[in-house]
Amino acid sequence: MKELDILHNKIGQLLINAGPENAQKIVTRAKLSLEGDVCDYEFDYTDDSGNEDWFIPDKLAGYDLRLLLVELRDFYIKNNLTNGKPAWSECEIVIDLKTSKILLNFKYND
């Protein structure tokens, strides 16, 4: 699943670059339309002192993230990774910069 790892890395790097410099953890929530043409976001982070706050990335980051999420969702569908469910409509992306790990949680409309 090298292609999936590449997508995860691209998403992670985009969010790290878009986030505040003092972020230790970045949490992004995205609601992606079924057509993939619209995406609503929430961008939160925890700084190196443990304080939580939100941030607004530049518009290009939001656009690029939407394209990557569409590509990710298409990959899941194409490779039967939805466990028989329809395409996911929401996801939460958690990036822990201390451990260099990314976690993706998906929400499916039933």
The pLDDT tens digits for 33-59 are 989 999 999 999 999 999 999 999 998
- Distance between CA atoms of 13 and 19, rounded to whole angstroms? 10
pLDDT of residue 110: 63
Percent of the chain whose predicted confidence (pLDDT) is above 90: 85
Q: What is the pLDDT of residues 57-83, one digit of tens each?
A: 998 999 999 999 999 999 999 998 887
- Distance between CA atoms of 22 and 90, rounded to whole angstroms? 27
Of residues 93 and 58, more confidently modeled? 93
What is each CA distance from 81 to 26, 36, 44, 73, in whole angstroms? 25, 18, 27, 9
- Distance between CA atoms of 11 and 65, rounded to whole angstroms? 7
Confidence of residue 85 (pLDDT cuts 50, 70, 90): confident
Q: What mean pLDDT, rounded, does the chain reach? A: 94
Phi, psi of 78 (to 5 degrees): -60, -30
pLDDT of residue 82: 82
Domain boundary assignment for the chain: 2-108
Give the class (CATH, top level) of 2-108.
alpha beta
Give the mean model confidence (pLDDT) for residues 9-18.
Answer: 97
- Distance between CA atoms of 91 and 20, rounded to whole angstroms? 21
0.85 cut: is pTM over it?
A: yes
Closest alpha carbon to 35 in 66, 78, 60: 66
Number of residues that this document lists for the chain: 110
